[in-house]
Structure 1
Amino acid sequence: MTSPVLYHAAEGVATITLNRPDVLNALNAELLAELRAAVERAAQDDAVRALVLTGNGRGFCAGADLAGRQGEMKDSGTLLRERYHPIILALRSMPKPVVTSVNGVAAGAGMSLALAGDVVLAGRSASFLQAFSKIGLVPDAGSTYFLPRYAGEMRARALAILAEKIDAEEAHRIGLVWKVHADDALAAETARLAAHLAQMPTFAYGLIKEALNASFDSNLPDQLEREASLQTRASGSQDFKEGVAAFLEKRKPQFKGR
């Protein structure tokens, strides 16, 4: 039987591909379990220095597989806590850069999953939809956290309440996407970016993520102190020493991610 999640690692990059293309990679229990395992595998593998998350076929992820959830509807909170939250938290806390490459639709929790990346790329035909209110639900899997921070409160409210689909260019305009590429160039551009990230100072990337994850919940004095503490750790790394040496010697640095 075909796995609902594909995992491939090479040259410092792990690529996780959602693999239920016949249902636009809708999230069911099996896919979520395998996705969590794949994300944890990438996080724990020292040879992996960048992660790509994408979807197979015509869509990135259509959200929860409602056809398979009829018997679970009464306890959605438990489903979120047990199956979705660990994945979102693992992506955000992973001390490595995560690129989400959105090919086609990203709807509901699929949109949440896309926004959990550190850098979000999209194909020109991609679309984004906060589908929750259409069936009487609240945005979940992190959408109410990501949307106000990326798009601003007014846009977040409108996206969540009106549940209108937006295209990739609009998502880019309002700050949900870093770059939009032609559909036939998306995979190559994603691979190029991931390969670049895998050669960069991974240790510093992890500290950058730590600082940014805390910034909205900190006041300025606390965030300044956090920066100072993280900078102490960064300046003690091998990558920092290599970066300085390469700068002084006018050569390309050879970072090791340590």
Structure 2
Amino acid sequence: MGANASASVVLLDHPAPHVARLRINRPDKRNAIDQAVRQGFVDHLTVLLADPQVRALVLGGVEGVFSAGGDIPSMVGLSKAQARERMQHIHGLCRMVAHARIPVVSAMEGVTAGAAVGLALLGDRIVIGRGARVLFPFLKLGLAPDWGQLLTLPRRVGLPVARRLLSDGQAVDGEEAVRLGLADAVHDDADVMVGAVALAASLARLPGEAFARMKQRLHHPSATLDEELQREEADQAVCLTGEDFREGYDAFMTKRSADFIGRPGAAR
């Protein structure tokens, strides 16, 4: 499938200043994720993550549904080599989302299943609707969980809860998802995307370099205190001498809100 076809199944817009939004556009398939969708994300992210004007990202789907998960018919009849190739394509996208230096917010509207849960867990924050359903269908299909979920899900909800969610196959609604720590905020179903965009717009105003360094260290925890202190020293040596700190200090001293985008204090 060509680049134009891949782009058509992943829509890009900019719903708030410095916020980009990518939405899966396969409403007839409940936004199931196939190779074209994955490639559409990769193509867009390649450009967006190199754009300094993009300071936050929202992931979602069209018509009030995030995604029914992986496109199951496209998984049938694969050779082992093709199965490995498919997983390598998935993992390329996983790395792009997980390693993004900017905040990534996912909007869990309607149904979020399987691969889409994995995609959301690779980001930073998850907003969900009260009537939403989160599903983990892997074992029912005879498949092991993928998209990194055996790492990312326990990190969010703890190992016992992750084991139960993955093995029981029970749907989780919005209120329960927040209670478990699977999602960060619950909204009325009609307001999920609005809430996700508002959150992303707020996160876009954070100091970019400091956020990126914090995110990297949270994703890759230090093995020892000495290692963490060494990383901390390296990060603060950059941050303390950077324009964001000059702006933050000026805002603190003049009792105003810091503007890490315009940086009026840093320009003085």
Q: Same fold (TM over 0.5)?
A: yes
Indicate yes or no: 2:33 matched with 1:27: yes
Unaligned runs of at least 5 residues, structure 2: 264-268
Q: Which residue of 2 aligns with 1:77?
A: 84
Unaligned runs of at least 5 residues, structure 1: none
Indicate yes or no: 2:7 matched with 1:12: no
Question: What amino acid does structure 2 have at the position aligned with 1:57?
Answer: E
Question: What amino acid does structure 2 have at the position aligned with 1:103?
Answer: E
CA contact (8 A) 1:171 1:177 kept: yes
Indicate yes or no: 2:144 matched with 1:111: no
CA contact (8 A) 1:25 1:59 kept: yes
Quote the Cα distance in structure 2 between the aligned partners of 1:113 and 1:28.
13
Question: What amino acid does structure 2 have at the position aligned with 1:223?
Answer: E
Match among 130, 139, 151 for residue 124 of structure 1: 130
SS in 2 for 1:41: helix
Q: Which residue of 2 aligns with 1:210?
A: 216
**1:78-112 Cα deviation digits (max 9, x unpaired):** 3111x211111111111111111111111111110
CA contact (8 A) 1:92 1:209 kept: no
Q: Within 5 A, what are the aligned runs for 1:121-160? A: 121-160=127-166
Match among 246, 254, 258 for residue 259 of structure 2: 254
TM-score for both structures, normalised by structure 1: 0.93
CA shift at 1:73, angstroms? Answer: 6.0
CA shift at 1:200, angstroms? Answer: 2.1
**1:204-232 Cα deviation digits (max 9, x unpaired):** 111111110111x6223212222222122
Higher deviation after alignment, 164-173 or 221-230: 221-230
Quote the Cα distance in structure 1 between the aligned partners of 2:246 and 2:160.
44
SS in 2 for 1:121: strand
**1:124-150 Cα deviation digits (max 9, x unpaired):** 111211110001000001110111111
CA contact (8 A) 1:202 1:257 kept: no
Mark the CA change 1:73 to 1:120 in structure 2 (over 3 Å): closer, same or farther: farther
Aligned residues between the structures: 256
Q: Which residue of 1 aligns with 2:53?
A: 47
CA shift at 1:64, angstroms? Answer: 1.0
Q: Identity percentage over the alignment?
A: 36
Indicate yes or no: 2:248 matched with 1:243: yes
CA shift at 1:61, angstroms? Answer: 1.2
SS in 2 for 1:22: helix
CA shift at 1:120, angstroms? Answer: 0.8
Mark the CA change 1:257 to 1:18 in structure 2 (over 3 Å): closer, same or farther: farther
